Amino acid sequence: MATPMIRGGGRTVAGGLRERSKARRLGNIRRAARELFVEKGYDATTTRAIAKRAGVGLGTLFTYAADKRDLLFLIFNDELIELAAQAFAQSSSAPVLADRLVAVFHDFYAYFTRQPNLARFLLRELTFYTHGPEAHRFQTHRDRIVAGVAAVVARARADGIIVATGDDMLVARAIFDIYSAEVRRWLADDQHEPNLAHGLTALRRVLQVLVDGLRPQR
Amino acid sequence: MATPMIRGGGRTVAGGLRERSKARRLGNIRRAARELFVEKGYDATTTRAIAKRAGVGLGTLFTYAADKRDLLFLIFNDELIELAAQAFAQSSSAPVLADRLVAVFHDFYAYFTRQPNLARFLLRELTFYTHGPEAHRFQTHRDRIVAGVAAVVARARADGIIVATGDDMLVARAIFDIYSAEVRRWLADDQHEPNLAHGLTALRRVLQVLVDGLRPQR
DNA sequence: GGATTATTTTGAACGTGTTCACTTTTGGCC
DNA sequence: GGCCAAAAGTGAACACGTTCAAAATAATCC
């Protein structure tokens, strides 16, 4: 467990040997897993290889991560949090919502470009890992993005560049859905060397459809 | 291979024993796989159990399907084709595009309701199985739906209930993206007994956002 | 220090999907 | 019928993710 149980008169000491070696082991596992995943991709990396490189027994891996997928998350969790924070920290003042959104999603696209071997798989897990032992983590990540998009939408509404719809979350979800599908399409198409500009252009075009709507203008 | 090689003076006869027993075996495998998948779900069904119930050796399975996922497709391919055909055959004349679309997607939702154990997995494969040995089949299925939606959009444009955008495929993709994400969300939320009405209501609401757009109306 | 208890590590063992060298069956030929 | 080559079938064997009972280690108490 992450926080050791305290029983009797404080059985576990903060700077104790146990805690230190756990931290060191966790670090080794993270590093080993990251190296191998990035180097070989997810499927081609075996848990045995990770254990070996980390210098721990096979079983030990599964006391630090619930399963192989969670190992992936163990690595990228922090990065994804920081990525989302950075993406939403910028505040574009572009007069068109689609441009503000593309500015945000640009960071995500760039991130995936940097992880070509893992991007597709990571995306799949982010999309479909909803029922495993550590599913809440991915769930949290999705929610964070949707919430961030909702904030962008709210600001755009306050700036008067879009109309009030009464439900920013609904709009945010639609935008997130389109982004998710587009980034997937992008990675599936130019799989070998995904072209950032192409991907963002395609994304912008679809988002603009959403912004414009389909109704006859009166 | 599906089509036997013809060499010399026509080595393979149409009504020969070989063809007949291949057809019978394929039927047995399909039936066994279907029963087990529906009964136990995808993960809990082993290839050994399928082979046993079909009365064939384990290795034989993999001469009829490239892998376990393809086995799933072997079963549902025909059904999915028919489902799409039926869904797009109806021609709603509702005055709002969102309603016409919901009428189409209703059939898909209803289909997933009938396969609760498999729906989520089938959906995942339809979304992400883009690089396996038989990926083109799923690709085809996706393309078929997008094309169908594009046709609905084109008709709506002809009927004057939406404006011309110049690119129906782009709009169709946006709609498909939203549908895919919504159906996934629906199945993930009420996983145990998905409520058809709830799902369609949520879908309609998001689609209406797309139809209305977000721009300030002049 | 030594004894005791809680925590952590570990790899052998299990169940799984998949492969492939071998066997069996089929169709054409005489 | 008997013979041969092509096709199809088969399960032992492999590699993998994961589990868990046993061993090793650390913390606490005297």
Alpha helices in B55-129 (DSSP H): 58-64, 68-89, 97-114, 116-128
The pLDDT assigned to A102 comes to 98
The whole-angstrom separation of Cα B154 and Cα B15 is 46
Mean pLDDT over A21-49 rounds to 96
Residue-wise pLDDT tens digits, A75-134: 999 999 999 999 999 989 999 999 999 999 999 999 999 988 899 999 998 888 887 778
Rounded CA gap, A103 and A85, in Å? Answer: 13
CA-to-CA distance for B156 and A45, rounded, in angstroms? Answer: 49
* Covered bases, chain D (protein CB within 7 Å): 6-13, 15-21, 26-29
CA neighbor of B36 nearest in space, from B81, B68, B78: B68
* Separation in Å, CA of A50 to nearest CA in chain B: 25
B101, B130, B177, B179, best to mutate vs chain A, most A CBs in 10 Å: B177
> What pLDDT is recorded for position B185?
94
Phi/psi region, residue A81 (left: phi>0; alpha: psi -120 to 50; beta: rest), is: alpha
The nearest alpha carbon in chain B to A175 belongs to B178
Question: Which residues neighbour B168 within 8 Å (Cβ) at sequence distance 6 or greater?
Answer: B150, B153, B154, B157
Is any Cβ of chain A less than 8 angstroms from the Cβ of B197? Answer: no
pLDDT of residue A10 exceeding 50, the answer is no
CA distance A127 to A139: 9
By CB atoms closer than 10 A (0-12, 13-18, 19+), residue A66 is middle
Taking CA atoms, what residue in A is nearest to B154? Answer: A214
Reported as half-sphere exposure (CB side, CA atoms, 13 A), residue A186 has a value of 28
Evaluate if residue A6 carries a pLDDT over 80.
Answer: no
Exposure of B162 by Cβ count < 10 A (0-12 exposed, 13-18 middle, 19+ buried)?
Answer: buried
Q: Which DSSP symbol is given to B133?
A: T
Which pLDDT score is estimated for B66? 94
In this complex, do B165 and A214 lie within 8 Å of one another by their Cβ atoms?
yes
- Contact predicate B141/B84, CB 8 Å: yes
Residue A11 has pLDDT above 60, yes or no: no
Q: Do the chains contact at B177 and A176, CB–CB below 8 Å?
A: no
Residue B213, by phi and psi: left (phi above 0), alpha (psi -120 to 50) or beta? left
Nearest to A206 among B173, B213, B215 (CB): B173
Quick check: A4 pLDDT over 50? no
Q: What is the rounded average pLDDT of the residues B199-208?
A: 96
Residue B14's pLDDT is what? 60
- Which of A167, A205, A214 to substitute to test the interface with B, most B CBs within 10 Å? A214
Residue in chain B nearest A209 by alpha carbon: B171
Of B176, B206, B213, the CB nearest to A212: B213
The structure tokens 């910028």 sit at: A90
Q: At what angle do helices A135-158 and A116-128 cross, to 10 degrees?
A: 90
Task: Report pLDDT for A42.
Answer: 96
Mean pLDDT throughout B167-171?
95
Return the SS3 of B118: helix
Question: Which of A140, A148, A50 has its CA nearest to residue A107?
Answer: A148
- CA B54, distance to chain mean position in Å, is 25
Place of tokens 């999603």: A105
pLDDT at B197: 97
* Nucleotides on chain C within 7 angstroms of protein Cβ: 6-13, 15-21, 26-29
Q: What is the pLDDT of residues A141-190, one digit of tens each?
A: 999 999 999 999 999 999 999 987 779 999 999 999 999 999 999 998 76
Predicted pLDDT of residue B136: 83
Q: Which pLDDT value is given to residue B129?
A: 83
In a mutational test of the A interface, the residue from B214, B215, B217 whose CB has the highest number of chain A CBs within 10 Å is B214
> What is the dihedral angle through the alpha carbons of B152, B158, B163, B165, rounded to the nearest 10 degrees?
70
A207 near A101, Cβ under 8 Å? yes
Whether the per-residue pLDDT at B2 is higher than 70: the answer is no
- Beta carbons of A127 and B160 less than 8 Å apart: no
Structure tokens at A43: 């499927």
Mean pLDDT of B180-198: 88
Q: Which residues contact B161 (CB under 8 A, 6 or more apart)?
A: A216, B95, B96, B97
3-state class (DSSP) for residue B199? helix
Q: Closest CB to A214: pick one of B97, B182, B206.
A: B97
Least confident span in A80-89, A200-209, B144-153, B155-164: B155-164
**Chain B neighbors of A184, CB-CB under 8 A:** 127-128
Residue B181 touches chain A, beta carbons under 8 Å: yes
Closest Cα partner for A112 from A36, A206, A38, A31? A38
Output the pLDDT for position B143: 94
Q: Is B166 near chain A, with CB under 8 Å?
A: no
B24 pLDDT band (50/70/90 cuts)? very high
3-state SS string for A64-93: HCCCHHHHHHHHHHHHHHHHHHHHHHCCCC
> Whose CA is nearest the C1' atom of nucleotide D9?
B60
pLDDT, average across residues B117-145: 86
Q: Please state which of the ranges A39-48, A153-162, A191-200, B34-43 shows the lowest mean pLDDT.
A: A191-200
pLDDT of residue A8: 35
Q: Residue B27: its pLDDT value, please?
A: 97
A98 CB neighbour count, 10 Å cutoff: 20
Q: Is the pLDDT of residue B154 over 90?
A: yes
CA distance A184 to A131: 21
- CA-CA distance, B190 to B94, in Å (whole number)? 29
Type and span of the H or E element at A45: none
> What are the pLDDT digits (tens) for B76-110?
998 999 999 999 999 899 999 999 999 999 999 99
**Contact at 8 Å (CB) between B68 and B33?**
no
A169 and chain B: CB distance < 8 Å anywhere?
A: no
**Of residues B162, B169, B167, the one with CA closest to residue B147:** B169
Structure confidence at residue A191 (pLDDT): 59
The nucleotide minimizing the C1' distance to residue B59's CA is D10
